[in-house]
Structure 1
């Protein structure tokens, strides 16, 4: 993919043109990402207090007992979102779904333990240990370049 930027002083509003020989999943993903203008705010609830969570401070987002939580530097916060909604609001280059109930921040990963058969054990930098589902192992190995 080539990216080209032209600076034109006459241009009052940014304009994006996508040139391609055919529509592909990659082109559709780019268009979706560019047209998605909803704010990427995640509100966390703890002790009747609502806090805006900074994505860079989130270690993981997970579902447990029918509720969704975000684990941060400051503890766990309940989210009033479904897991897929939180996944849509977070940057897909940094946050990766590793199972039906867990999304991790790749920048907060301390280690990947590949010694388990059929899964990967992930240790986050705060000490939390979580596991990749068998369905997601291939995707994680691809991210790691394996």
Structure 2
């Protein structure tokens, strides 16, 4: 698919034109994705339910039967399963690094591959997470190593 962006100072509102010879499944999928509103992600902290910005989340993890999101402002309890959070964050830069954790690649500062069989992900907020052996090949493919 060819994509072209044209900057026009006279344009007051973004406009999208799609030219195609036929409506294929790829075109239908693109139209569906453009018309969808991304689902909100809400987290609870200090008795308040807050709408979370996915870009502000460093990681999402499950512990003791609950799911938590670590954000710039602190840690939030999510009222959903980890796979549901993963589905809501699909299309963003989140990757599963273990059975119980997702990491935002935009928050990754470095990847330590010196450990045998696993990878340590150092996050910009000072935290660290470990890629389980099952997910190491997928992370290596994402990193291009």
Q: TM-score range by the shorter chain?
A: 0.7 to 0.9
Counterpart Cα distance in 2 of 1:119 and 1:109: 16
Query: Which residue does the alignment assign to 2:81?
Result: 82
Alpha-carbon offset, residue 101 of structure 1: 0.5
TM-score (ref. length: structure 1): 0.77
Structure 2 unaligned segments of length 5 or more: list them: 6-15
- The SS at the match of 1:87 is helix
Q: CA RMSD in A?
A: 2.8
Alpha-carbon offset, residue 86 of structure 1: 0.6
Structure 1 unaligned segments of length 5 or more: list them: 6-13
Query: Which residue does the alignment assign to 1:43?
Result: 42
Query: Which residue does the alignment assign to 1:11?
Result: none
- The SS at the match of 2:36 is coil
- Taking a change above 3 Å as real, the CA distance of residues 2 and 125 of structure 1, as seen in their structure-2 partners, is same
Alpha-carbon offset, residue 2 of structure 1: 3.7
How many aligned residue pairs are there?
135
Counterpart Cα distance in 2 of 1:19 and 1:137: 42
4+ long deviations beyond 3 Å:
1-5, 14-20, 30-33
TM-score (ref. length: structure 2): 0.78
- Taking a change above 3 Å as real, the CA distance of residues 113 and 41 of structure 1, as seen in their structure-2 partners, is same
Counterpart Cα distance in 2 of 1:80 and 1:37: 22
